[in-house]
Every structure is written in C-alpha cells, then in structure tokens.
Amino acid sequence: MPVTAADFGQTSDGRSVVEYTLTNDNGMVVKVISYGASISSLQVPNKDGKLDDVVLGFDNIAGYEKDSMYLGRVVGRCCNRICNGRFKLDGQDIQLPNNDGPNHLHGGLNGGFSKVVWSGSLDGDTVKLTHTSPDGDNGYPGEVTATVTYQLTNDNAVVINYTATTTKATPVNLTNHSYFNLAGHNGGTIYDHEIQIAANNYTPKKEGEFIVSGKIAPVHGTVYDLREPVAIGQRVHDVEQGGYDHNYCLDQPSLEQPSMRVHHPGSGRTLAVFTTKPGVHLYTSNFLDGTQVGKNGTCYPKHGAFCLETQYYPDSVNHDNFPNCILRPGDTYQHTTCFKFNW
C-alpha cells in the first residue's frame, strides 16, 4: 500500500522532521521518522488479532533528541565500539573522539548518524532516506553519502536496505538499533521471550571491558550458546556485565534463511531476522533502568527489550581476522536486513 508522510514536529534548532507510515494488507503498521532514519513504531497483530506496538520509542521529537540509548535509530558511520577510538588505515593513524569510556561508540559525539535529520522521499511502497556525512565528521576520513530504504511487504517483513559511497577510504558499518519487545513496548521485561541465533561462534570481550578481545570463540558450553531456543530469562542473569551485549558470528547469513528467531509465547508473535551481514550484536537493554519515559508515558525497565543489530564485527578496523569494514572510493557499501513477523 502507498506510504503516507506527515509532520512530526521540529528539532530544537528548527529542523523539520517527517513521519512516514507504511501499512500492509495484514494489519501491520510501521512508522519511520527522518530524525535518525528511525523506526518509531511497529504495530503487529497478536494471535487474537490485537495490534501492539513492539518497538520502544517516544511520542515526540523532544524525546528522541534527549535519548542517549539510540532507540530505533540508524547508527553510523561505524556502529558498535572501536577500541580507544584509534585505528590505522593505509599507513595513517586515525584518532576518533571517545564517547563510551575509553572507546568510540556508534559513530561518536553528538550521536553520529543517529542524531541528524535525513532527507526523505517516497517511491511507491518504499521510504528512502539519505544523509551526507562530510569529510572529517567525528574524525572519519572521506565524505560519505548513505541511503537507507524501508519497505513493508505483505508477507509481514520490514525490509531495510543500506547503501553508502565515499570519497576516501573509511570504515562504514551501518545498523538499525530498534529495541523490540514482542509483548508490546509497554510489556515489561523480555524474560519470557525465547531466542535462537544460528551462530557457532562469538567474539568475546576483554575481561571487565565492553570492547572485544579480537578472538573468535565457540559458544559451546557457555551462556552464549543460543543455537537452540531458550528463554532469555533463563540465561541473561548469568551473563557478564548485566546481560547480553555481545556479537555473534553468524554461520550462514542469508536473505533465504533466518539467522535469528525470537518467539513470545503469550502473544504468539515470532520475529525472524534475515541479513547479508556476517554478525549480529545481541543487546538486552542492560542500561535501561526505568527512568527512560517513552510512548504513552511508559517507563522502560532494564531488560525491557532486545536489540538484534546486524553488522560487521565490533572493532573490525583493528583485527585482520574479522570481516573487513573499510569502504573505498568507487565501491558501494551494501547491506540488507529483513525483520519478518508471524503471529
């Protein structure tokens, strides 16, 4: 069905924000705002046909401007953490600003791509959003032009396509940081959600730190083994640093077979995730603490949502054994992720 566009207000510095609404024949409704190219609402029927909004977010642009948790955003130019904000590229030492303790996170200061207003347009049933990041933005070399498209299909899939080009060699690693709760954004904790990730390996973190060690390790025999469905509540309390905040090395990333599934027995909803990227970062909203007031005045608690951030591995720029995230002039970054629902 055609996409509609409406005003979502203005940022504190006067930039107009547009809200796009996509619907399908089965009752699903997806809303995307041009601020951060964010998914602001995702309404999905349950087993009884009742619609619930299954992503965390805010009622107005002021909420998104204040948010430091990246709710619903497209994150870039390089998502996840870069150790000490430092890497070497073609013999040159690059130093980025650190905004997460000793590390650079999700594109750097001022939110990177997640806190800008993207230029939007409509093409039939697709929303197209574009942002140009200037040379030197947050310390990154090269002017990067990134485009993200959103489409909602009649087989209940939210399809996100990312492309980017650059004028100089630079890391590019884009993802969507939606926080899902299949019971509804106001559904409390996700302990009853059953998760499965088709990954024999993950990238462990340095002891006591949030940055990866550079190793690739088997999940077998650890709390990170999610190859068979398991309730999140059965495992999350045994995970270091308050919950899952870990990258999984997907066995066979594909748009033909899902690499991840999450099922909520109470509502009957299932989310299957397909991607062309080699990794997914599972995050169980460990830093939500009930003080974040979202849609309809809902206070979002710790472990009140999960994120499945499809991407290159964290800190890939510093580890030759990880997939390469460097984009060069003349090449095009391409990435597709599909969030498909059943109920």
- Distance in angstroms (rounded) separating the CA atoms of residues 110 and 45: 36
Per the annotation, the verdict on 237 as an active-site residue is: no
Strands (E), 38-183: 38-45, 51-53, 74-75, 81-82, 86-89, 92-95, 104-105, 119-123, 126-133, 144-152, 157-166, 170-171, 175-176
Which among 281, 309, 319, 335 is annotated as catalytic? 309
Q: How far apart are the first and last CA of the chain?
A: 21
Catalytic residue among 131, 177, 193, 264: 177
The answer to whether 177 is a known catalytic residue is yes
Give CA–CA dist 231/213, Å, rounded.
27
CB 117 within 8 A of CB 17: yes
Instruction: Tell me, rounded to whole angstroms, the distance of Cα 245 from its chain centroid.
Output: 12
User: What phi, psi does 3 have (nearest 5°)?
Assistant: -90, 140
Measured from the Cβ of residue 341, the count of other Cβ atoms closer than 10 Å reads 19
Catalytic residues: 177, 309
